Structure 1
Amino acid sequence: MEETIKLVYGDGGKYTNELIKEIIYKCFNNVILTSGIDSAVFSVKHGKAAFTTDSFVVKPLFFPGGDIGKLAICGTINDLSVSGAKPIYLSCSFIIEEGFPTKAFELIVKSMAEQCKKSNVKVVTGDTKVVEKGGVDGIFINTSGVGTIEKNYEIKPIESGDRIIVSGNIGEHGTTIALERYKIKVKGDFKSDCASVYKITSMIKEYYPFIKIMKDPTRGGIATIINELSSIAGLSVKLTDGSIPISREIEGINKILGLDPLYMACEGRLVLVVKSNMADEVLQKMKKLEQCRNAKIIGVFTDEQYPMAYIENSFGGKRILNTLDQQMLPRIC
Structure 2
Amino acid sequence: MDFPPNNIAQNSLFQKISQPRRRPAKVRDTHITLAHGSGGKAMRDLIDDIFISNFDNPLLSQLEDQASFNLSTLLQQGDRLAFTTDSYVVDPLFFPGSDIGELAINGTVNDLAVSGAKPLYLTCSVILEEGLATETLRLVANSMKAAAQKAGVQIVTGDTKVVPRGCADKLFINTAGIGIIPAGINISAHNIQPGDAIIINGEIGNHGAAILIARGELALETDIESDCQPLHELVATILKVCPQVHAMRDATRGGLATVLNEFAATSQVGISLNEVSIPVREQVKGICEILGLDPLYLANEGKLVLVVKSEQAPTVLSAMKSHPLGQNACIIGEVIASPPGVVLLKTPFGTERIVDMLVGEQLPRIC
* TM-score, scaled to structure 1: 0.84
Secondary structure of 2:243's match? helix
The residue aligned with 1:165 is 199
**Separation in 1, partners of 2:267, 2:88:** 30
Q: Does 1:55 align with 2:87?
A: yes
**Separation in 2, partners of 1:221, 1:237:** 16
- 185, 210, 217: which is aligned to 1:153? 185
**Separation in 2, partners of 1:305, 1:245:** 25
**Separation in 2, partners of 1:194, 1:183:** 22
Deviations 1:51-73 (A, max 9, x none): 11111000001000111100000
Aligned pairs for 1:262-281 (under 5 A) are 262-281=296-315
Aligned pairs for 1:34-49 (under 5 A) are 47-49=79-81
Where does the alignment leave 5 or more consecutive residues of structure 1 unmatched? 1-43
**Separation in 1, partners of 2:340, 2:306:** 23
**Separation in 1, partners of 2:248, 2:155:** 25
The residue aligned with 2:106 is 74
Whether contact under 8 Å (2:264, 2:340) holds in the other structure is no
**Separation in 2, partners of 1:74, 1:316:** 38
State the percentage of identical aligned residues.
47
The residue aligned with 1:323 is 357
State how many pairs are aligned: 291
The residue aligned with 1:133 is 165
What letter corresponds to residue 299 of structure 2 in structure 1?
A
The residue aligned with 1:27 is none
* TM-score, scaled to structure 2: 0.77
**Separation in 2, partners of 1:132, 1:188:** 36
Shift of 1:315: 4.8
- Comparing 153-162 with 131-140, which one deviates more in the overlay? 153-162
**Separation in 2, partners of 1:314, 1:328:** 24
The residue aligned with 1:176 is 210
Shift of 1:291: 1.5
Aligned pairs for 1:80-91 (under 5 A) are 80-91=112-123
Question: Higher relative CO (CA 8 A, sep ≥ 6), structure 1 or 2?
Answer: 1
Whether contact under 8 Å (1:173, 1:267) holds in the other structure is yes
Whether contact under 8 Å (1:61, 1:67) holds in the other structure is yes
Q: Does 1:107 align with 2:146?
A: no
Whether contact under 8 Å (2:89, 2:366) holds in the other structure is yes
The residue aligned with 1:304 is 338
Where does the alignment leave 5 or more consecutive residues of structure 2 unmatched? 1-73
Output the aligned Cα RMSD: 1.6
Whether contact under 8 Å (1:151, 1:206) holds in the other structure is no
Considering only CA atoms, is the larger Rg found in Structure 1 or Structure 2?
2
Deviations 1:116-158 (A, max 9, x none): 1111111010111111101110010000111110243113521
